Amino acid sequence: MLVTSVVARIEAATQRSGAITFLASARTGGATAPTERVSWAALHEDAIAMASGLQARGVGPGVNVALIGPTSRPLVTAIQAVWLAGGTLVTLPLPMRLGSIEEFVEQTRCRIANADAQLIVVDPALEEFVAVDGPPVVRLDAIAGSAAVWERPPDDPDRLAIIQFTSGSTSDPKGVMLPHRCVIENIDAIVEGAALGEGDVGVSWLPLYHDMGLIGLLMTPMLTGFDLGIAAPQDFLAAPADWMQWLSEEHATITGGPNFAYALAARALRRLDGLDLSTWRIALNGAEPIDPLAVEAFLDAGATHSLDAKAAFCVYGMAEATLAISFPEPGTGMTVDAVDPDVLEHDRVATSATGDRVRRLPFLGRTLRGLELRVCDPATGAARADREVGELELRGISVTPGYYGRPDVTAASLHDGWLRTGDLGYLVDDEVVVCGRIKDVIIIGGRNVFPEEIERAAASVEGVRVGNVIAFGTEGRRGKEGITVVAETRGADRKALRDEIIDRVCDAVGIPPLEVVLVEAGTLPKTSSGKLQRSLCKAQHGSAALQRV
């Protein structure tokens, strides 16, 4: 389809029969209103009226609008209204952890400043947290307008549609610039790569301030017209079983989430009855390193509820690509590359291996249309051959033109016109395999140890919270390099737990940790999208920020 603007695609989608359903949690009372189904056409009419109210406040092309609030019908309407007014959307994270309110306020104000927001639209419940000097603040429930006076903005594929802050952003957040053309090209590639159509039904609880939630599972149905059931992330976190219940009740075909969400879902599936997951064909898994064991455990738990094992859909993406980079063929399920971990660490080559001591890495499919991916030596920039590990570099039609207001960071992220992703990986017959982040690799005695291996080994110990382990390199006595493991736990024998973690890690990577730190649940630092922050945890090591048990 011809690239024009997000507005034009929304208008076309309203001609179809699709709808958005706002889901509530029966267990928690729900952060949303009671379950409510609204056609995309009806939501669009509401958004036009709200857009006229935004235009009356000066919103138009070139105006950046910061938006913050829990997932709800007014919030989704406001998201669309910003584009209908001609503005650029900047969605801001919510305070997901009660113990980090001060940090949340500081980061929110920093993002508002870095995005040069000229208007802040806020849910009434969060108004006190975003008061800043400069841009005016308007409550989400106070944007009234008349569709009769709405002025449709001109279609301009190069106008900014979104400034998306990267999920790892903390004290110095980087805003990824996404013009309308990038958003549309990537959504079209997603639709083609996942074979999506009008018969599909999506379900999502993902945060709308994260690219997977906003672009992948809100905008894709919004711009193509298929059905979507949407819930608040707080509801999922309070009761992960609700995700599976929503999928069953909505007869969903597609959903997505990070690795930890599927680990929680597997536990829920083992105690649920009466679900029908037979329609589910795309279980999209991305946003963090994918653990094959966790995927297999999830599929095993889902089999009782008629979940097809081939629904597993392991992908690669990042905000700088708009969202999606590579997809497998739908219906093929998860496939893994079993490689020799020692050769991978020492020689940076992925050599096929068998037996007990292998590292299993999921294949993440081939690049989507309009994108190219290559592997280069991160130090020299030299090209790497198939199965040789290096930094993944990207270019193509949906790759960001840069970071908002940061030409220095933009220039540093490029290598001969290719975007440096910061990810280590390799190619096998054009299929992508990701090993980990360059900045997180632990170097010990010339070995390049990937923290994911250590974290998965530690998380396999009974008493350690799954998905809540961080490993990083430290300097011990006399400058000796070593590994520190920080793990969240609840009510376990601390000495026995430390000993077991040391044994499991040693079995996995051949190196015992110098230190095992056990902390209270909810202590480990995470990004707004739920990713573990290894660098920040390392910086907090030894401070009161880590609540040791």
Q: How far apart are CA 387 and CA 393, in angstroms?
A: 15
CB-based contacts of 63, cutoff 8 Å, min separation 6: 85, 86, 87, 88, 118, 119
pLDDT of res. 167: 63
Which of 213, 239, 265 is the C-terminal boundary of a domain?
239
Tens digit of each residue's pLDDT (9 = 90 or more) over 478-521:
666 789 999 999 766 888 899 999 999 998 888 899 899 999 88
pLDDT of res. 30: 46
C-alpha torsion 465→466→467→468, nearest 10: 10
Q: Which residues pair with 255 in a beta bridge?
A: 283
pLDDT of res. 193: 98
Tokens of 372: 């190219």
Lowest mean pLDDT among 70-79, 254-263, 289-298, 522-531: 522-531
Q: Are 31 and 70 in contact (CB under 8 A)?
A: yes
Show the domain range for 63.
6-239
Residue 404 burial by Cβ neighbours in a 10 Å radius (0-12, 13-18, 19+):
buried
Q: Is the pLDDT of residue 373 over 90?
A: yes
Tens digit of each residue's pLDDT (9 = 90 or more) over 306-324:
999 999 999 999 999 999 9
Q: How far apart are CA 75 and CA 213, in angstroms?
A: 13
Q: Is there a domain that residue 512 lies in?
A: yes
The one-letter amino acid at 493? D
- Section 409-422 average pLDDT: 96
- Please measure the distance between the N-terminal and C-terminal CA atoms of the chain and give it in whole angstroms: 57
Tokens of 468: 């809540």
CB-based contacts of 234, cutoff 8 Å, min separation 6: 28, 31, 70, 94, 96
pLDDT of res. 202: 98
- Section 454-481 average pLDDT: 83
Tokens of 376: 């280069």
pLDDT of res. 223: 97
Q: Are 164 and 178 in contact (CB under 8 A)?
A: yes
Q: Is the pLDDT of residue 356 over 60?
A: yes
- Phi first, then psi: give them for residue 13, nearest 5 degrees: -65, -30
Estimate to the nearest angstrom the gap between the alpha carbon of 466 and the chain centroid.
18
Across the chain, mean pLDDT equals: 91
pLDDT of res. 533: 84
Q: Is the pLDDT of residue 122 over 80?
A: yes
pLDDT of res. 107: 83
H-helix or E-strand spanning residue 108: helix 101-114
Q: Is there a domain that residue 62 lies in?
A: yes
Q: In sequence order, what DSSP letters do the residues of 420-475 get, joined into one string?
A: EEEEEEEEETTEEEEEEEGGGPEEETTEEE-HHHHHHHHHTSTTEEEEEEEEEEEE
pLDDT of res. 304: 96
Q: Is the pLDDT of residue 332 over 60?
A: yes
pLDDT of res. 418: 97
Q: Is the pLDDT of residue 1 over 70?
A: no
CATH, residue 99:
3.40.50.12780
3-state secondary structure of 181: helix
Number of domains making up the chain = 2
Q: Is there a domain that residue 74 lies in?
A: yes
Q: Is the pLDDT of residue 3 over 80?
A: no
* Cα separation values, 61 from 64, 151, 200, Å: 8, 12, 33
Q: How far apart are CA 385 and CA 353, in angstroms?
A: 19
Angle between the N-to-C axes of helices 6-13 and 73-84, in degrees from 0 to 180, rounded to the nearest 10? 130
Tens digit of each residue's pLDDT (9 = 90 or more) over 129-177:
887 677 999 999 999 899 999 999 999 999 999 999 986 545 577 999 9
Q: Is there a domain that residue 286 lies in?
A: no
Q: How far apart are CA 140 and CA 156, in angstroms?
A: 27
More confident residue, 263 or 526: 263
Tens digit of each residue's pLDDT (9 = 90 or more) over 183-194:
999 999 999 999
- Section 337-357 average pLDDT: 92
pLDDT of res. 171: 52
What is the band of 327 on the pLDDT scale with cuts at 50, 70, 90? very high
Q: Is there a domain that residue 89 lies in?
A: yes
Q: How far apart are CA 319 and CA 287, in angstroms?
A: 10
CATH, residue 494:
3.30.300.30
Which of 186, 210, 239 is the C-terminal boundary of a domain?
239
Q: Is there a domain that residue 375 lies in?
A: no
Q: Are 218 and 240 in contact (CB under 8 A)?
A: no
Do β-strands 431-437 and 418-428 pair in parallel, antiparallel, or remain unpaired? antiparallel
- Section 220-228 average pLDDT: 97
Quick one: which of 99, 49, 145 has its CA closest to 546? 99
Q: Is there a domain that residue 105 lies in?
A: yes
- Phi first, then psi: give them for residue 454, nearest 5 degrees: -65, -45
Q: Are 196 and 254 in contact (CB under 8 A)?
A: yes
Which of 239, 273, 297 is the C-terminal boundary of a domain?
239
H-helix or E-strand spanning residue 223: helix 220-224
- Section 326-338 average pLDDT: 97
Q: How far apart are CA 265 and CA 241, in angstroms?
A: 6
Q: How far apart are CA 265 and CA 248, in angstroms?
A: 13
pLDDT of res. 201: 98
- Section 244-272 average pLDDT: 94
Quick one: which of 290, 366, 374 has its CA closest to 328? 366
Q: Is there a domain that residue 159 lies in?
A: yes
What is the band of 52 on the pLDDT scale with cuts at 50, 70, 90? very high
pLDDT of res. 6: 98
